[in-house]
Structure 1
Protein backbone atom coordinates (compact mmCIF):
# COMPACT_ATOMS: atom_id res chain seq x y z
CA UNK A 1 0.00 0.00 0.00
CA UNK A 2 2.83 2.42 0.85
CA UNK A 3 4.55 1.86 -2.49
CA UNK A 4 1.28 2.58 -4.32
CA UNK A 5 0.89 5.84 -2.40
CA UNK A 6 4.50 6.83 -3.11
CA UNK A 7 4.08 6.12 -6.82
CA UNK A 8 0.81 8.07 -6.81
CA UNK A 9 2.53 11.13 -5.28
CA UNK A 10 5.67 10.85 -7.42
CA UNK A 11 5.70 13.67 -10.02
CA UNK A 12 7.68 11.45 -12.41
CA UNK A 13 4.88 8.86 -12.50
CA UNK A 14 1.72 10.91 -11.96
CA UNK A 15 0.72 13.76 -14.26
CA UNK A 16 -1.40 15.48 -11.59
CA UNK A 17 1.46 15.42 -9.08
CA UNK A 18 3.75 16.89 -11.74
CA UNK A 19 1.28 19.69 -12.46
CA UNK A 20 0.94 20.44 -8.75
CA UNK A 21 4.72 20.56 -8.36
CA UNK A 22 5.02 22.86 -11.37
CA UNK A 23 2.35 25.21 -10.00
CA UNK A 24 3.91 25.25 -6.53
CA UNK A 25 7.35 25.89 -8.01
CA UNK A 26 6.00 28.83 -9.97
CA UNK A 27 4.40 30.37 -6.88
CA UNK A 28 7.50 29.91 -4.75
CA UNK A 29 9.72 31.45 -7.45
CA UNK A 30 7.51 34.56 -7.59
CA UNK A 31 8.38 35.33 -3.98
CA UNK A 32 11.89 33.86 -3.90
CA UNK A 33 11.02 31.13 -1.40
CA UNK A 34 12.08 27.52 -0.99
CA UNK A 35 9.69 24.75 -0.05
CA UNK A 36 11.45 24.24 3.30
CA UNK A 37 10.75 27.90 4.15
CA UNK A 38 7.06 27.00 4.47
CA UNK A 39 7.62 24.84 7.56
CA UNK A 40 6.46 26.63 10.72
CA UNK A 41 8.66 26.16 13.81
CA UNK A 42 5.78 27.15 16.10
CA UNK A 43 3.61 24.34 14.75
CA UNK A 44 6.08 21.47 15.20
CA UNK A 45 8.81 21.34 17.85
CA UNK A 46 10.85 18.98 15.65
CA UNK A 47 11.13 21.74 13.04
CA UNK A 48 12.13 24.25 15.70
CA UNK A 49 14.84 21.91 16.97
CA UNK A 50 16.08 21.21 13.43
CA UNK A 51 16.32 24.95 12.71
CA UNK A 52 18.25 25.45 15.96
CA UNK A 53 20.80 22.86 14.82
CA UNK A 54 21.38 24.35 11.38
CA UNK A 55 24.28 26.76 10.79
CA UNK A 56 23.50 30.42 11.50
CA UNK A 57 24.07 31.40 7.84
CA UNK A 58 21.39 28.96 6.64
CA UNK A 59 18.83 30.20 9.17
CA UNK A 60 19.69 33.83 8.37
CA UNK A 61 19.18 33.18 4.65
CA UNK A 62 15.81 31.56 5.44
CA UNK A 63 14.72 34.53 7.52
CA UNK A 64 15.81 36.92 4.78
CA UNK A 65 13.80 35.01 2.16
CA UNK A 66 10.73 35.07 4.41
CA UNK A 67 11.07 38.82 5.06
CA UNK A 68 11.47 39.52 1.34
CA UNK A 69 8.43 37.38 0.52
CA UNK A 70 6.28 39.17 3.13
CA UNK A 71 7.45 42.55 1.80
CA UNK A 72 6.63 41.59 -1.79
CA UNK A 73 3.26 40.21 -0.74
CA UNK A 74 2.33 43.38 1.14
CA UNK A 75 3.31 45.48 -1.89
CA UNK A 76 1.33 43.16 -4.23
CA UNK A 77 4.48 42.58 -6.29
CA UNK A 78 6.62 39.67 -7.44
CA UNK A 79 10.35 39.26 -7.87
CA UNK A 80 11.67 40.47 -11.22
CA UNK A 81 11.73 37.78 -13.92
CA UNK A 82 15.53 37.55 -13.99
CA UNK A 83 15.63 36.85 -10.23
CA UNK A 84 12.76 34.37 -10.48
CA UNK A 85 14.78 32.36 -12.99
CA UNK A 86 17.63 32.06 -10.47
CA UNK A 87 15.47 30.62 -7.67
CA UNK A 88 15.71 26.98 -6.56
CA UNK A 89 12.41 26.27 -4.76
CA UNK A 90 12.95 22.55 -4.18
CA UNK A 91 16.59 22.71 -3.05
CA UNK A 92 16.28 21.41 0.48
CA UNK A 93 18.24 22.60 3.48
CA UNK A 94 16.05 21.35 6.32
CA UNK A 95 14.99 17.79 5.45
CA UNK A 96 18.18 15.98 6.50
CA UNK A 97 18.35 17.67 9.89
CA UNK A 98 14.59 17.23 10.40
CA UNK A 99 14.89 13.49 9.69
CA UNK A 100 17.75 13.25 12.20
CA UNK A 101 15.74 15.09 14.89
CA UNK A 102 12.71 12.85 14.31
CA UNK A 103 14.86 9.69 14.49
CA UNK A 104 16.39 10.91 17.75
CA UNK A 105 12.96 11.69 19.20
CA UNK A 106 11.64 8.26 18.19
CA UNK A 107 14.68 6.60 19.76
CA UNK A 108 14.23 8.57 23.00
CA UNK A 109 10.55 7.61 23.13
CA UNK A 110 11.42 3.94 22.51
CA UNK A 111 13.89 4.06 25.42
CA UNK A 112 11.33 5.76 27.66
CA UNK A 113 13.29 9.00 28.06
CA UNK A 114 11.76 12.45 28.09
CA UNK A 115 11.68 14.25 24.75
CA UNK A 116 14.76 16.38 24.21
CA UNK A 117 12.92 19.71 24.05
CA UNK A 118 10.22 19.08 26.64
CA UNK A 119 12.40 18.34 29.64
CA UNK A 120 11.68 19.93 32.96
CA UNK A 121 14.59 20.86 35.16
CA UNK A 122 14.41 20.96 38.98
Structure 2
Protein backbone atom coordinates (compact mmCIF):
# COMPACT_ATOMS: atom_id res chain seq x y z
CA UNK A 1 0.00 0.00 0.00
CA UNK A 2 2.93 2.36 0.64
CA UNK A 3 3.89 2.08 -3.03
CA UNK A 4 0.47 3.29 -4.16
CA UNK A 5 0.58 6.21 -1.74
CA UNK A 6 4.11 7.14 -2.82
CA UNK A 7 3.24 6.97 -6.51
CA UNK A 8 0.11 9.01 -5.86
CA UNK A 9 2.08 11.79 -4.17
CA UNK A 10 4.69 11.65 -6.95
CA UNK A 11 1.94 12.02 -9.55
CA UNK A 12 0.45 14.97 -7.66
CA UNK A 13 3.87 16.63 -7.53
CA UNK A 14 4.41 16.08 -11.27
CA UNK A 15 1.02 17.58 -12.14
CA UNK A 16 1.30 20.54 -9.77
CA UNK A 17 2.22 23.68 -11.77
CA UNK A 18 3.78 25.21 -8.63
CA UNK A 19 6.28 22.36 -8.36
CA UNK A 20 6.86 21.34 -11.98
CA UNK A 21 7.98 23.75 -14.69
CA UNK A 22 6.57 21.58 -17.49
CA UNK A 23 3.17 21.40 -15.79
CA UNK A 24 3.21 25.19 -15.44
CA UNK A 25 4.06 25.61 -19.13
CA UNK A 26 1.24 23.25 -20.12
CA UNK A 27 -1.24 25.06 -17.87
CA UNK A 28 -0.23 28.39 -19.37
CA UNK A 29 -0.59 27.05 -22.91
CA UNK A 30 -4.06 25.61 -22.27
CA UNK A 31 -5.13 28.81 -20.51
CA UNK A 32 -3.98 30.91 -23.47
CA UNK A 33 -5.86 28.71 -25.98
CA UNK A 34 -9.09 28.76 -23.93
CA UNK A 35 -9.02 32.55 -23.52
CA UNK A 36 -9.41 32.86 -27.31
CA UNK A 37 -12.99 31.64 -26.91
CA UNK A 38 -14.02 34.11 -24.18
CA UNK A 39 -15.35 36.69 -26.64
CA UNK A 40 -17.24 34.06 -28.66
CA UNK A 41 -18.85 32.59 -25.56
CA UNK A 42 -19.87 36.02 -24.28
CA UNK A 43 -21.40 36.90 -27.63
CA UNK A 44 -23.29 33.60 -27.83
CA UNK A 45 -24.68 34.08 -24.31
CA UNK A 46 -25.70 37.65 -25.14
CA UNK A 47 -27.78 36.34 -28.06
CA UNK A 48 -29.70 33.84 -25.93
CA UNK A 49 -32.92 34.73 -24.13
CA UNK A 50 -32.36 35.78 -20.51
CA UNK A 51 -34.27 32.80 -19.03
CA UNK A 52 -32.01 30.31 -20.85
CA UNK A 53 -28.87 32.05 -19.58
CA UNK A 54 -30.31 32.10 -16.04
CA UNK A 55 -31.12 28.37 -16.23
CA UNK A 56 -27.57 27.69 -17.49
CA UNK A 57 -26.08 29.65 -14.61
CA UNK A 58 -28.22 27.74 -12.11
CA UNK A 59 -27.02 24.42 -13.57
CA UNK A 60 -23.41 25.59 -13.31
CA UNK A 61 -23.88 26.65 -9.69
CA UNK A 62 -25.53 23.31 -8.86
CA UNK A 63 -22.66 21.44 -10.54
CA UNK A 64 -20.05 23.42 -8.59
CA UNK A 65 -21.93 22.84 -5.34
CA UNK A 66 -22.25 19.09 -5.92
CA UNK A 67 -18.61 18.87 -6.94
CA UNK A 68 -17.48 20.60 -3.74
CA UNK A 69 -19.65 18.21 -1.70
CA UNK A 70 -18.41 15.18 -3.70
CA UNK A 71 -22.01 14.22 -4.48
CA UNK A 72 -23.86 13.23 -7.63
CA UNK A 73 -26.97 14.76 -9.11
CA UNK A 74 -30.05 12.73 -8.04
CA UNK A 75 -31.29 10.25 -10.64
CA UNK A 76 -34.60 12.08 -11.12
CA UNK A 77 -32.76 15.29 -12.11
CA UNK A 78 -30.25 13.72 -14.47
TM-score scaled by length of structure 2? 0.50
Relative contact order higher in (CA < 8 Å, ≥ 6 apart): 1
More helix by share: 2
TM-score normalised to structure 1 length:
0.34
Larger radius of gyration: 2
